[in-house]
Amino acid sequence: MTTRDRRAPGSLEKQVWALLLDAGRPLTTGEVRDRLHEQTPAEAPLAHTTVVTILGRLHGKGLLTRSLDGRAHRYTPASTPEGVAATRMHQALADEGDHEAVLSNFVSGLSGTDEALLRRLLGQDG
């Protein structure tokens, strides 16, 4: 089991999403894979099919638009008003520390023991 396998569900999705937001232009699957590897050079690069799956999932959720460039698909964040707003809100949240206190988040962070406890409370074996 590599460390990547133990990541949060969707954590790769988040990483790919952030990467495409930052890219500023449509990227191919290969480019996404290379950039992911640049971000975490210590880890083995992801399999091409894994990246295809992640991009497919994000596309399926309507978060990405896909265009055919030669034989490769290029992906870019869907430029809906919601997408733009999401980007702005995220930047705003990241910028100012006191935002945390103004925006009431539904759930705060969980520690490891909290998580096990929570699973027990929910009747789920952890």
Partner 1 sequence: MHIAVYLPLLLPLLAARGAVPLARRLPPRLATWLLTGAAVALAACSTVALALLAATAAVRIPVLATIERYSLAVVARDDPASVWVALAAALLLAAGGLALARVAIRRAQALLATHRHTRLLPGEEQLVVLPDPSPEAYAAPGRPGRIVVSTAMLDALSPAEQDALIAHEISHLTHGHHLFLATAHLAAALNPLLRPVSRAVGYTIERWADEDAAQDAGDRPVVARAVGHAALASAPAPRAPRPALGLGIAPALPRDAGDVPRRVAALLIAPARAQRVLLVAAIALVLVAALATLEAQQDFEALLELARRAVPGSPVA
Q: For partner 1, give the closer residue by CB, 30 or 62.
A: 62
Q: For partner 1, give the closer residue by CB, 6 or 71.
A: 6
Site for partner 1 in 29-58 (CB under 8 A): 58
Which has the closest alpha carbon to 54: 36, 80, 72, 81? Answer: 36
Q: Does 115 bind partner 1 (CB under 8 A)?
A: yes
Window of 9-17, 28-36, 43-51, 67-75 that interacts with partner 1 by CB under 8 A: 9-17
Pull the structure tokens for residue 52: 């295809």
Q: Does 124 bind partner 1 (CB under 8 A)?
A: yes
Whether 61 and 16 have beta carbons less than 8 Å apart is answered as no
Q: For partner 1, give the closer residue by CB, 70 or 95.
A: 95
Q: Does 103 bind partner 1 (CB under 8 A)?
A: yes
Q: Does 92 bind partner 1 (CB under 8 A)?
A: yes
Task: Name the minimum Å distance from CB 71 to partner 1.
Answer: 27
Window of 23-31, 34-42, 43-51, 74-82 that interacts with partner 1 by CB under 8 A: 74-82
* Eight-class DSSP state of 108: -
Q: Does 60 bind partner 1 (CB under 8 A)?
A: no
Measure the CA–CA gap between 59 and 54, rounded to whole angstroms.
Answer: 8
Secondary structure element (H or E) that encloses residue 13, with its range: helix 11-23
Measure the CA–CA gap between 11 and 65, rounded to whole angstroms.
Answer: 20
Whether 33 and 46 have beta carbons less than 8 Å apart is answered as yes
